[in-house]
Amino acid sequence: MQDLEKPRITDIITEENFDLFVQMHEAMEAGDYDTAMELREELGLGFGMRAGRGMHKGFSHRRCGMW
């Protein structure tokens, strides 16, 4: 059976791409979610549905009828 464990952030973010990770974080803090998502994709980070993700731009699970 295939190992389905997701990689840890420290497996993805390295010394070489840390500056890009910082840029992504700063874009998120500034509310620039489009840039943050582009940088996230470039870094190879997934788009999992953990708490807090997908809640930008005024959307929430309750507002869109998911819960």
**Mean pLDDT of residues grouped by 10 in the chain (67 residues)?**
72 94 96 95 75 47 42
- Please tell me the predicted confidence (pLDDT) of residue 10: 86
How open is the CA angle 15-24-34, to the nearest 5 degrees? Answer: 150
> In angstroms, rounded to a whole number, what is the distance separating the alpha carbons of residues 52 and 58?
12
**Per-residue model confidence as pLDDT tens digits over 48-65:** 544 444 444 444 444 444
How much is the pLDDT for 61?
42
Measured distance CA(55)–CA(16) in Å, rounded: 29
The pTM assigned to this predicted structure is: 0.60
